[in-house]
Structure 1
Amino acid sequence: MVSEFMAGSLASSCPEQGKAVLWRAIRYILPTARNLRRRLSHEAVSCPFCDFSDESPIHTLLRCSFARQVWALSGLRWYDIDSLAWSVEEWFQALTLKLSATDFSLVAMFCWTIWWSRNLKLANKPFLLPPQVVEFARNYLSAFNSQSSQHKFIRDGGRALGLGVLARDSKGVCLAWLSLKLDRGGTAEMAEGFAAREAISLALRRRWKQVILEGDSSTLLHKLGSTDMELSVISPLVADIHSLSSQFESVSFSLVSRVCNSVADLLARLALNQSGDSVWFPLGLAVALCGDLAT
């Protein structure tokens, strides 16, 4: 039943993160304190929220005081449909008898966001509080399944090797960001082209349907909007972007001022101080985004 539900009705309506956390919890391989002790035979940390030493998947996702606050705020009164369940698998099977795929996708996203917040707290990083978990999970699922929202990418090559991509929905809500350092030389125009290609690739991975690419390079935007064939150093990148763009319902290109592109520019500069690439959700950009929206 579990495999059929995961591969069937839940497959297209739920982001991969939600399905992955549920699958690992059901298979009892989610790296909680109990599982780490059982598999690695060493003392593991306790639950970072309530300090319960025997932290199991069902404790983390359902029984912990933090998780209970999330579910109490979720408005989903059937989350504890089987209070006698001894495992996430038993709970999952009880839910599949009652829920539609849409409802269950929301449950999966709550589980993933609880797990994400748990790991952030364990790493002593800022984490989402229960009300924020509920809001984030609902907004994320809504954006994932939206057929009408257009997701804006503000990308800026910044200095030659630093790439920055910022993804927003049609209401301006930040969905994700990317900061990437390329270990190669190149002009600012090439960096802009690489950033645009990364933006399109990120949109494909997130399965977004309608995309607006925004940038402050008029040269690149002109080439992306032109149907004329030309030979230049960024022609291969332009061809790649056009090829990837054909997989969306719609793609448009828009020129913005550098002031409006300040957050992506910041990400491009940050990329020069890191060794690899980073793809994150909005937590780390709160201050910069507030400043961007105020301009």
Structure 2
Amino acid sequence: MQDTLIWHYSPKGVFSVKSAYHVACTLRNVDAPSRSHNPSDNWNFIWRANLPHKIRVFIWRVCRGILPTLSNLIRRRCNVETICPCCSMHEESDSHILLHCDLARQIWSLSNILWVIIADWSDSAHEWIRKVLAKVTEEEGKLFLTLCWAIWSACNKMLWETNQPNPLSIVLGCLAWLMRFVPHIYDPETAEAMATQEAIDLARRHGWDHIVVEVFYVSEVRRTDNYVAHSLARSATVSQEGSVDPPMFLFPVLLSNITSDDC
């Protein structure tokens, strides 16, 4: 009888990339999705949240254990120091950078979801995110995911650009940024009032009795809506030549602008 190769990790004995992936995840102690896996409510929330794709992908990478933290880079045989650049005390892991680091705890304490660090979370970052999302409202969930991404971004800027992060600015920036995704906010005055209310609530929670609320009005035209002027301004930085007629490089831009306006 002729010998036959059998892949005993699958019921049919046939090798597949999918079954090999499950074996690799098991050997590396990573929670691989089962063959009959149905997306959980948490995954549905993450992928359907009205947030930029970069934030959703970031959370996915955290939950899969593939975020390029210093501790993960060491496991991939990269020659790097594992000490967290923000606190210079502990190893930079997923859970440390998002939950236990001094910078992270300051940011969470300034948010209106402070309770995410009050409990004694000893789980992995994946389990922590899962448990938090099971307890929050939709708006709190979006703020939670955005702040997670902002913490990671702030740490990277501190490491690579030597920018000292400001926890209060990060929280207020995320709150103001999320206002862009609130439905039915059509006029600047309403959005401004909501942002002011958030700032006042933040001051009240921290017992700040004497505050000054300053309002700035900025008139902005997006670069994509005025690309002709942007192209001219950019060319002026490398050329000092003047001309009455439009330069040749501008004709395609003008044509594109006219065509889009007609549409």
Shorter-chain TM-score above 0.5:
yes
Question: What count of residue pairs does the alignment treat as equivalent?
Answer: 182
Q: Which has the higher contact order (CA 8 A, sep 6+)?
A: 1
Which of these residues, 133, 141, 156, is aligned with residue 119 of structure 1? Answer: 156
Whichever of the two has the greater Rg, that structure is 2
Which of these residues, 59, 73, 77, is aligned with residue 22 of structure 1? Answer: 59
Which of these residues, 217, 221, 227, is aligned with residue 153 of structure 1? Answer: 221
Q: Could you tell me the percent identity over the aligned residues?
A: 25
Match of 1:162 in 2: 234
Farther-moved stretch of structure 1 (14-23 vs 91-100): 14-23
Unaligned runs of 5+ in 1: 164-185, 195-233, 244-295
Say whether 1:35 aligns with 2:107. no
Say whether 1:83 aligns with 2:120. yes
Farther-moved stretch of structure 1 (91-100 vs 26-35): 91-100
1:99–1:86 distance in 2 versus 1, CA, 3 Å: same
More strand by share: 1
Match of 2:211 in 1: none
In 2: Cα distance, 1:104 partner to 1:141 partner: 12
Give the RMSD, CA atoms, in angstroms.
3.2
1:30–1:144 distance in 2 versus 1, CA, 3 Å: same
1:80–1:147 distance in 2 versus 1, CA, 3 Å: same
Shift in Å, 1:241: 5.0
Shift in Å, 1:9: 6.7
Shift in Å, 1:236: 3.8
Match of 2:260 in 1: 240
SS at the partner of 1:85? coil
1:138–1:101 distance in 2 versus 1, CA, 3 Å: same
In 2: Cα distance, 1:92 partner to 1:2 partner: 15
In 1: Cα distance, 2:60 partner to 2:185 partner: 30
Which of these residues, 48, 56, 71, is aligned with residue 11 of structure 1? Answer: 48
1:150–1:73 distance in 2 versus 1, CA, 3 Å: same
Match of 1:56 in 2: 93
Shift in Å, 1:192: 9.4
Which of these residues, 119, 125, 137, is aligned with residue 100 of structure 1? Answer: 137
TM-score, length of structure 1 as denominator length = 0.53
Shift in Å, 1:150: 6.2
In 2: Cα distance, 1:38 partner to 1:21 partner: 20
Match of 1:135 in 2: 172
1:188–1:108 distance in 2 versus 1, CA, 3 Å: farther
In 2: Cα distance, 1:57 partner to 1:98 partner: 21
In 2: Cα distance, 1:94 partner to 1:153 partner: 42
Contact 1:15 1:144 in 2 (8 A): no
Unaligned runs of 5+ in 2: 1-37, 189-219, 236-244
TM-score, length of structure 2 as denominator length = 0.59
Contact 2:46 2:56 in 1 (8 A): no
Deviations 1:219-252 (A, max 9, x none): xxxxxxxxxxxxxxx3343223554xxxxxxxxx
In 1: Cα distance, 2:46 partner to 2:96 partner: 27
Contact 2:49 2:142 in 1 (8 A): no
Contact 2:55 2:149 in 1 (8 A): yes
Shift in Å, 1:41: 3.9
SS at the partner of 1:40? coil
Which amino acid in 1 is paired with 2:52? P
